Structure 1
Amino acid sequence: MSTALSARYVPLEDFLEMQPEQGVYLEWWRGVVFRGMSGGTAEHARLIARLAVVLSSLAGHDCTPYASADVWVDAAQFYGQADAYLVCGALKLLQVQKHGKNLGEALTNPIVVVEVLSPSTESRDRGVKLEAYKQLVSLEDYVLISQKERRVEVHHRIDGEWTSEVATGNGSVTIHGKLVTLDALYGAPPPVS
């Protein structure tokens, strides 16, 4: 469960100046600073690596996958980070500067946003972040990948309405209009000694 780290309003520029000083990634929502994700597990990193391959195969010639980039959702006043994104067409960025110094940049037009769920972030990924990402005009799919079990949940925007799709075991889901098997996303876990 994420808890607010600030009880008062923090301007976006001040929030971005805080980032390098923290040992944990922070997220900003309507002026409130929340603890985001911290260092992930080996399984989390493995799933993100596999996800990069899958998103690259879905990308085609007009789309580009990104991992762990910042994202800005203007309508929700949310600045945060997901595990992966797919952007099609021209990349659009929010550039944040203060006194001529570049404090950060964030994607503003992903069509796919992916989170690999962690115990510390799952409720936020399913709650506040889902609601924020749904306000991205460009977003088609919000994908939640479990690292506890073979389970993938995809929230699709179809004709302005949101629907959900869940696959487990050896199933498959649709991401960016293409069928993706859970085998492609999960593969076989490596042996651990």
Structure 2
Amino acid sequence: MTLGQPHAYFTPEEYLEIERISPIKHEYFRGQLVAMAGASKAHVIIVGNLSALLVNHLRGTGCISYANDMKVRLPKLNIFYYSDLAVTCDERDRASNEDFILHPKLIVEVLSESTEAFDRGNKFADYKTIPEFEEYVLIHQKQVLVERFQRQTDSLWIPSVYHNGDAVEFGSIGFSCAIADLYENISQLL
């Protein structure tokens, strides 16, 4: 995410109203709206594959998986991000009618050249301020490669890397699948 010249300051409430009627998505960064670029075909397929797997896995658990269009709110930082996929198991998120969640335990980002540095750096650091956040997953779209970071303590995140032929595990929700399942239907795009 890059911020251009500053524009008018928008409150979180104004942002949410604008976002409800806007034909394009924006993230919210301390009063500024930042337009989001469209996704590649590979990106959309990967998120769809994972979303389908997680919906079935989470059925009956009380956890909900949100793909693409659900905002994650970070009120302490005055930020709203759109993650590629987020899972919350928190009753407060399930009971809320808001256009965002506050308590995800798993967040997944599919990396692109334009977002990779931000997703790895500032965005990850910002997500770490969520007390319920346990696991961060980065999925590459140009190669078969998944990186997982699992919280041990507030300052210690254990990385795991998965390659072609591996089984990917998300410990926060007890999920496992073949890495090939995430990349189904995009071999010609790699």
TM-score bucket (shorter structure): 0.7 to 0.9
The letter for the 1-side match of 2:14 is D
- Cα 1:143–1:8 change in 2 (3 A) is same
TM-score, normalization: structure 2? 0.81
Mean Cα deviation higher: 82-91 or 108-117: 82-91
| 1:165 aligned onto 2:160 | yes
- Please point out which of 125, 130, 133 is paired with 1:131: 125
Question: Which residue of the partner structure matches residue 38 of structure 2?
Answer: 39
Question: Which residue of the partner structure matches residue 88 of structure 1?
Answer: 89
- Please point out which of 112, 115, 123 is paired with 2:106: 112
Aligned residue pairs, count = 184
Partner SS for 2:133? coil
Q: Is the 8 A contact 1:2 1:120 kept in 2?
A: no
**Deviations for 1:3-43, whole angstroms, at most 9, x for unmatched residues?**
3453554322233344366554211122233233x221221
Q: Residues of 2 paired with 1:76 and 1:55: CA distance?
A: 29
Question: Which residue of the partner structure matches residue 174 of structure 1?
Answer: 169
| 1:189 aligned onto 2:183 | no
Question: Which residue of the partner structure matches residue 149 of structure 1?
Answer: 143
The letter for the 2-side match of 1:14 is E
| 1:56 aligned onto 2:51 | no
- Cα 1:53–1:13 change in 2 (3 A) is same
Partner SS for 1:164? strand
TM-score, normalization: structure 1? 0.80
Q: Residues of 2 paired with 1:90 and 1:126: CA distance?
A: 29
Partner SS for 2:99? strand
- Cα 1:89–1:80 change in 2 (3 A) is closer
Give % identity.
27
